[in-house]
Amino acid sequence: AQSVSQHNHHVILSEAASLELGCNYSYGGTVNLFWYVQYPGQHLQLLLKYFSGDPLVKGIKGFEAEFIKSKFSFNLRKPSVQWSDTAEYFCAVRGQAGTALIFGKGTTLSVSS
């Protein structure tokens, strides 16, 4: 069965610090990979996605993620976080034959100004 593991439950950073959130997935076939963000009290928004091609994908708000197939990983990065990045971050995977997303348990990012 597909599963997604997010290593960091809660990350606390100061503004301008660099961010890397880990995500590993378990799936035997070709996958689509996603990072979603949920700001406090809001719905999920897509940050970025990987379907195929260049394994380094860039998303909104300066976020990027790198797909490393050999490590089954899709880590999220941002070189310099802002207070407004405080949110829940969810990694998700979908097998190409499937439709529903399988989510990780999320990482809470708290950025202090």
Partner 1 sequence: DTAVSQTPKYLVTQMGNDKSIKCEQNLGHDTMYWYKQDSKKFLKIMFSYNNKELIINETVPNRFSPKSPDKAHLNLHINSLELGDSAVYFCASSQPGVVQYFGPGTRLTVT
Binding residues vs partner 1 (CB under 8 A): 32, 34, 36, 38, 42-46, 49, 88, 90, 96, 99-103, 105-106, 108
Shortest Å, Cβ 7 to partner 1:
15
- Counting every residue, how long is the chain? 113
Query: Among 65, 67, 70, which residue's Cα sits nearest to residue 20?
Result: 65
Query: In angstroms, what is the C-alpha Rg of the chain?
Result: 13
Shortest Å, Cβ 80 to partner 1:
26
Neighbours of 24 (CB within 10 A): 18
Q: Toward partner 1, which CB reaches closer, 100 or 113?
A: 100
Shortest Å, Cβ 73 to partner 1:
20
What is the distance between the alpha carbons of residues 65 and 59, in angstroms, rounded to a whole number?
A: 8
Q: Toward partner 1, which CB reaches closer, 16 or 108?
A: 108
